[in-house]
Amino acid sequence: MTRRSSNPFDPPPSTAKMKRRMLREGARANELRDEAFRRVILSIPAGKVSSYGKVAAAAGYPLYHRAVARLLRTDPPDRLPWYRVLGVSGEIKLPGSAAIEQRLRLESEGVRFQGKRVNMSLYECSLRVWER
């Protein structure tokens, strides 16, 4: 391990080294955040749904609803019950055939739609906050 000199006139570590370190630390933080999202999504039982924002909040990241959507978009589809996560109003946010598949999967679990929306007061799962 190299020690940094206490001399204030010594040059700081290279910008490239600092950038690499920050990226490594950021990647680790993202992995921890995504794992928290996965735990929450896996806790949603069959026949229940939740919203992107509630999943993020239950995982401890209340402003990261878009990160939940990104995770669901990039994780393998058989890894998580992605179809149980909806928009805050109970609406499916996916386009085209993915929306049809999500609706069919939810209906096969007993979730009923009113038009294009799920009645969140009936089907929303109350999520517990996970401790990290």
* pLDDT recorded at residue 123: 98
Class of domain 15-123: mainly alpha
pTM over 0.85: no
Alpha-carbon distance of 121 to 64, in angstroms, equals: 23
Q: How confident is the model at residue 24 (pLDDT cuts 50, 70, 90)?
A: low
pLDDT tens, position by position, 66-82 = 999 999 999 998 999 99
* Residue 112 · residue 38 · CB < 8 Å: no
pLDDT at 130 over 70: no
Six token digits for residue 74 = 């990039």
pLDDT at 26 over 60: yes
Vertex 53, ends 51 and 58: CA angle to 5°? Answer: 95
Residue 6 CA, chain-centre distance (Å), reads 42
Six token digits for residue 94 = 């996916």
Alpha-carbon distance of 127 to 95, in angstroms, equals: 26
* pLDDT recorded at residue 119: 97
Mean pLDDT of the chain: 88
